[in-house]
Structure 1
């Protein structure tokens, strides 16, 4: 027995020695790799560079910022972006003690103990990452954050992290803790162009920080961690939650009493933003496009589709981080941003919207008009955005949502050409194919409640027959139809949209006017999609090019199918639901759309020159008697398009190659339970484009005739619109809405700036082609999904 124990000890000892030898070999190999692989020199160079950066810095390094300028397509100055750190800089003695306590409690509890780097914090972050599979805790100290913001980029590489550590430790040798805190609080980003605590105080509360109470100070200190997620303008609920967390941390750290903490958390926060706040639709869209262009340059890959909720959550975190990083540069880097926006066209579109809705003067509690509209115009020659209007113009002291690209509503019948008809025209159907308008069990009816029997596909589109679109999508399959929208970057598609009611605009989240404009511009462009943007190029202050954009085209539809669709849509304006809206002397095509109970009206149309999308409705969806795609939206479209085509030579659309018509009835062999109701929700679930249908892999050499030189104007972008039509109102008869001073719905109007995603859900029981759930988001706010259970018995056109 004793011998066996000795043998075990000897074996254990030999195993221990072997393990130690292996570890020694690994360490030696690592050291050899470190020195002979060049890492020793690289790290030495990083340390030397860090020393030079810190010791060459002056007081001005932490105070100044360069002004960026934005120009329209004609070189006219649109806006000036300046961080204004120099204007609002505070010395340490001028910063309220509560600001210092709040930021240290939430960002760096060991600030006064460490020497620039909290190594224990790094180990905790690594442990948490291993346990959770992703980064869940921050490991950067206040000094490291300052080092990164002032001296480095935001790229996530080991070299940058090592140099960040070297800079932080060197700063701790050169500056006092109070100096570092002063620099930090004057340089951190508080969103919406505000750098530093004083600028944030002036921007959100219109007063100096010394006048704020504890609750307001904690509220501001909640923003820098993730300025997009905790943006008080778009996500004030998130900001409040983090404010409360900061107050709790201050209580635990002994900075405030339990009673003071309780009172501060119970205080209601009310923003008071100055009149100088940027709320111009051109500016907000330009900043959005410029930021995304910089993100793309940094190598960020945009997505709309995800395999799981976890993947989506991770992507959104990465997106927010990169967006904030690139957005900051607009205010400090001294860029010159050149856009495709034509301010003259912008004014024409704004004026067309304002004039059409001028009788509707009702406002909500925030003073914002309750009846709204949005529109986008794209240049078909270039694929760039020329004009973008996110709402009616009015004097309003605060922020107004840019509905053109941030709001999502149900599109109604306006989605049919994109989702159903152009795809089936690729599959042996032609404008003369015979289809049958007949009742469908548990399916939709038409707006007039009748069925017309056999007719051509052309007539079905012109008359916006719901039964035909429903059956054709079943034949095509909803999955296939949605792939076309995914390829055109429709961003709020959902798994629940894979149903026949999507043929009638019954989406979970909806679409935006920008997305609709880009979709119809794809049809006009012979089936090639170009992602909408207004950024032509960005240079530095000395004119050196930072980036320039190139409109790359993605094949979505076949050329001949697109041309057939255009030919059919021409008839909508002469024989169908949009008759009377054709332009004088200029060939044009388009489609109407209206949702249940006349809650949303859409018109999207194009010429060889421009594509324009228009949406009209209430921010909080409710009925507007007489609203249809052909009424206000159609008139806005015609007024605007007529004006911008003045002096342009008429351009005919290119003709399609005749194909053998499909004469048999376009009725699927099986009708597997046409779904009774299609649910639409307010949730903003982002999905990303996926590649579909590889039938067209190369652009046809003979894709388009050259357009006249007059057509080669500034590129324009499209906006997100949704069109559903009233089951009881024929959109062909341009009915006037009821008395504009009356409220046709008892729905409560809400400020889109405060709760842009909280829209009333409605069931498609009257018209499944007109989805009533409208998602109006400022960013990516989610609403509540609708629970629809009614039987869709009436349709829309």
Structure 2
């Protein structure tokens, strides 16, 4: 008995000694490693790497940029079912332990004593948080011990909810998804709260093996892991047996979503503009600091612009013929139809969509129709009546023979493109032509829609802000405004007759022509503009002077150095971007005020602090112009290292400055009136289909139809559409602004103005309406039946009454002999004088 008692005492003392040794070792390690441990307090304010997100004005996601996909959640936003699932499989004692699993701790010590190396397993959720925030994955005992010590500290300082929240937002779930919300979006395109029990279990099982057990790369391993989670939840009483049975039988439904949040619309050129601006402001931190940028884009109007541009370019393409199959896909005669189709479906699924078009392969050709296969395994029949447009393209002005049977268009194995329009499939092709469209609020410059081309993935070139093109007649409203400011009126009579301009320096002559080579003789200035008379524009420029015109036109926002210092300015030979054209028309639309287009409304940091907010100069007709000021300078506020705002006081609201008046209100009211006539009876008559009287605009077409434009507006929205080739060339003889660009503007405006009341600028007190003689522009005679109403500034109302006849001379075009004499300096071209019934003409 004494021997046994002695042995027992030895065992007891040995155990005590071992415990003491362990305590001493732990204390020594703590004293050694403790000072180098990171601060747990920093976890309370930690900023997770979060991508840059760009939103529309109505809070819809446009795009996100960044390597890591993450959408942080608070604990209250995490569904309880997910908390249960994760605890079941990762850390059953999470609610009761102090940060460390005792068994795992002892095993780690023993492994160190025996081998000096650390083995796997035993980590609590708290330890995993410590490791993922502060340590690498390298298996070293010192790292493991530091992890344990830090976990103990975390449990003293942080609540269980705070620790779980950090875990749920930090952990990697595969496929660039960090955090449970990103995982839900990546795998299921859902919010975490919308997942089924089976889907929750799938995500809860990912953190341990995010690469080797995710449902996309290793579906069998993922299914096994999911069922393990469900089994653990059943064992712990978190779910019932029926719920378990339903969930375990659920099929895998995960799919790789391209984006972490569902996009309701696309605005890729806008997103790229914002991304570039953020890089200028914040550098590479833009991609990881969790910035949220709210733009001025209206998602409904952006959708309308996307559709309008794509349809407009597709319609242009159809008018010029079919260029043939996109590519030829081999037909394998040794395969059955099922095998051949399966092979083709694989080819189609790898082919990207462009501009809303879907690739398809021709599977059957009959005289009266084509049958094509889509990537979704469906077939579509294209009847001959829908193929008639597909005459062979020869050049932009010439097509091949008429289509008489479907085989004239395509053969079996041809890959073609289909457009879905008005609930039917149509044969299409990716346009070679390009376009641009931009719309803004003319009262503050807020850009509401912007499209830089047919498809961003096809070509990222932003033609709205980068393509400097000749505007053609789109420039004329600015020239005519300059004339109105210098004393012309809408009733001023101009001479629409041939004109020849001699350049003795170049020894050349220039004979500008009107569209259609039609000259109407005496014509009122109003009619000359709404009918877009080129010769009249040149005569106006000759009268007011080129330098005066350039200085005046530059008030609308155009760079004077880019305006040609010669008479071609009158016909739009300058190189101007669609954005600048739209900016100029904003001044006309708002009645003469300077506004600057902008797309970023505000920038927030990850905590919602406002780093920058735009306060645009805004039109205020009732405000004193002494209050007008330029918009406040853009500033970049300083950030803390974690990406939050240093000086939070900048988020205080400020009033928008008053937009300065730059053009006389009488001039702009008259120009509004004339441009409404462009729609009513001029080159923009196609827009009458809107059934509104408050819209105005101007077409534009350059020489040889290289560029086609339409800019139009009402007092609340202004938009510009451009169509042309990136490498300038003719659009074809039949193309002009009213046919090519106006339909794009029209399709957009049908959406933008739907349900909106008509609105016209208020008539200034300095404008009066009088009856005039339409031929002379003078006051109408009493009882004159063909008299019309016209508006004038009060100080420019005609004082003379029209007579029955006025004798006036009209210049004839000089002869070749006279022109040659002028070039050689032997004289100037002479003109015959002929009598006409008309008032005095200007030039």
Shorter-chain TM band: 0.3 to 0.5
TM-score (norm 1): 0.44
Point out the structure with the larger strand share: 2
Greater Rg by CA: 2
Q: TM-score by structure 2 length?
A: 0.42
